[in-house]
Amino acid sequence: MAPGTGATTSGPGATTGEPGTAPLLEVVDLHVSADGVPILKGVDLSVGAGSVHALMGPNGSGKSTLAKVLLGDPAYQVTQGAIRFQGEDVTAWPTDVRGKAGMFLAFQDPESIAGVPVLQFLRQALSARRGEDLSVLEIRLSMMEWMEKLGMDPAFGERHLNDGFSGGEKKRNEILQMALLEPEFAVLDETDSGLDVDALRIVARGVRTVRETRPDLGVLVITHYRRILDELSPDAVHVLVDGAVVAEGGPELAARLEQEGYDPWRP
Ligand SMILES: Nc1ncnc2c1ncn2[C@@H]1O[C@H](COP(=O)(O)OP(=O)(O)OP(=O)(O)O)[C@@H](O)[C@H]1O
Ligand SMILES: [Mg+2]
């Protein structure tokens, strides 16, 4: 363990709610490989209902891998450990089942899907999450409401998903999806990257508004920068280096990283 760091498990804000109840999300000794190459080497992390946690770490440390594995990306193999969501072991659950259960990932690099308009995509995703077919009108109304909150041009609803969207437009679109899908737990993978100052505030405000309407929402914010954390006030900050959590603390840890970089924790 690096000097001056706390314990690597059960960090601050790890659990909320009744004593003895399981945290919303619990990652236990998670080891993950891609094509036989180990990427995550024993990650422990808990996020309680209603709390915001930040995950920071140098490029290539495994943050996006963790995000994708939380949502069951089949490109990765869990070789040891477990992911528990609302007390259930979801490690073997396919992505769509996790989505239906209320897990959500805003991608670092959202994919474009040519030929699929945003509205149609959201209708499918939302119908799957709710377990009932929603009408185009219903979706359009809540979509319009959220697009306005997120400063998006209503014309985006008719455009093909992420096709020709600017970097910032893609990130807003991810938050739009989060707002409409009403997840229980959301991972935001570098949603702040590539946003101008105004867009960052709008996106952060969007996340805060979603949290106001859903106070039990747990959020894991992956970021390289303190600015989004200043906006979202995380309960805990975790630092991932070379596939393992090497430090945990409060927001002051993000400030320290900005000053000192990751050298104190590099192997
Ligand atoms: N599907 C894959 N196949 C092979 N290697 C992979 C795969 N996915 C990730 N890796 C490797 O795992 C390591 C961690 O990648 P990851 O994308 O998780 O890093 P990150 O912490 O999100 O970095 P960044 O801050 O640059 O986004 C990198 O060395 C990457 O090349
Ligand atoms: Mg990444």
Q: How far apart are CA 183 and CA 127, in angstroms?
A: 13
Is 122 within a domain?
Answer: yes
Is 20 within a domain?
Answer: no
Q: Is 65 in the pocket of ligand 1 (CB under 6 A)?
A: yes
Domain count, the chain: 1
Of the candidates 187, 168, 166, the residue with the CA atom closest to the CA atom of residue 178:
187
The percentage of residues in the chain with a pLDDT greater than 90, rounded to a whole number, is: 84
Q: Is 36 in the pocket of ligand 1 (CB under 6 A)?
A: no
Q: How far apart are CA 91 and CA 243, in angstroms?
A: 18
Q: Tokens at residue 255, please?
A: 């400030």
Q: How far apart are CA 217 and CA 186, in angstroms?
A: 8
Q: How far apart are CA 83 and CA 88, in angstroms?
A: 8
Q: Is 62 in the pocket of ligand 1 (CB under 6 A)?
A: yes
Q: How far is the CA of 238 from the centre of ligand 2 (A)?
A: 15
Q: What is the pLDDT of residue 14?
A: 43
Of the candidates 127, 214, 103, the residue with the CA atom closest to the CA atom of residue 206:
214
Q: What is the pLDDT of residues 100-137, one digit of tens each?
A: 999 999 999 999 988 999 999 999 999 999 999 999 99
Please report which confidence band the pLDDT of residue 22 belongs to, taking 50, 70 and 90 as the band edges: confident
Q: How far is the CA of 65 from the centre of ligand 1 (A)?
A: 6
More confident site: 2 or 267: 267
- DSSP SS3 for 23: coil
Q: What is the pLDDT of residue 240?
A: 98
Which ligand 1 atom is the nearest neighbour of the CA of 68?
18
Of all ligands present, the nearest one to the C-alpha of 34 is: 1
Q: Tokens at residue 142, please?
A: 């809540």
Position of tokens 């498990």?
9
Q: What is the pLDDT of residues 35-82, one digit of tens each?
A: 999 999 999 999 999 999 999 999 999 999 999 999 999 999 999 999
More confident site: 259 or 12: 259
Please report which confidence band the pLDDT of residue 28 belongs to, taking 50, 70 and 90 as the band edges: very high
**Measuring from atom 12 of ligand 1, which residue has the nearest CA?**
39
Instruction: Determine the structural domain holding residue 130 and report its residue range.
Output: 25-265
Is 59 within a domain?
Answer: yes
Task: Look up the pTM and report it.
Answer: 0.92
Q: What is the pLDDT of residue 39?
A: 98
CA distances for 92 relative to 82, 85, 116, 210, 246, angstroms: 9, 12, 29, 29, 26
Q: What is the pLDDT of residue 2?
A: 38
Tell me the average pLDDT of the chain: 91
Radius of gyration of the chain (CA): 18
Q: Is 75 in the pocket of ligand 1 (CB under 6 A)?
A: yes
Of all ligands present, the nearest one to the C-alpha of 62 is: 1
Q: What is the pLDDT of residue 10?
A: 40
Burial letters 94-121, b for 16+ CB under 10 A, else e: eeeebbebbbbbbbbebeeeeeebbbbb
Q: Tokens at residue 113, please?
A: 């899907």
Q: How far is the CA of 127 from the centre of ligand 1 (A)?
A: 32
Helix 197-213 to helix 136-149 angle (10° resolution) is 130
Is 13 within a domain?
Answer: no
Q: What is the pLDDT of residue 19?
A: 52
CATH of the domain at 101: 3.40.50.300
Is 256 within a domain?
Answer: yes
Q: How far apart are CA 210 and CA 112, in angstroms?
A: 24
Q: How far apart are CA 104 and CA 182, in angstroms?
A: 9
CA distances for 44 relative to 82, 84, 98, 225, angstroms: 9, 11, 20, 22
Is 5 within a domain?
Answer: no
| Region class of 44: left (phi > 0), else alpha (psi between -120 and 50), else beta | beta
Q: Is 252 in the pocket of ligand 1 (CB under 6 A)?
A: no
Q: Is 35 in the pocket of ligand 1 (CB under 6 A)?
A: yes
Please report which confidence band the pLDDT of residue 20 belongs to, taking 50, 70 and 90 as the band edges: low
- Quick one: average pLDDT of 161-169? 92
Q: Which mutation among 30, 37, 41, 65 tests ligand 1's pocket best, with the greatest number of atoms within 8 A of CB?
A: 65
Please report which confidence band the pLDDT of residue 233 belongs to, taking 50, 70 and 90 as the band edges: very high
Is 64 within a domain?
Answer: yes
Q: How far is the CA of 108 from the centre of ligand 1 (A)?
A: 11
Q: How far apart are CA 51 and CA 10, in angstroms?
A: 14
Q: What is the pLDDT of residue 250?
A: 96
Q: Is 187 in the pocket of ligand 1 (CB under 6 A)?
A: no
Is 19 within a domain?
Answer: no
- Quick one: average pLDDT of 83-112? 96
Q: What is the pLDDT of residue 50?
A: 97
Helix 136-149 to helix 167-181 angle (10° resolution) is 120
Of all ligands present, the nearest one to the C-alpha of 37 is: 1
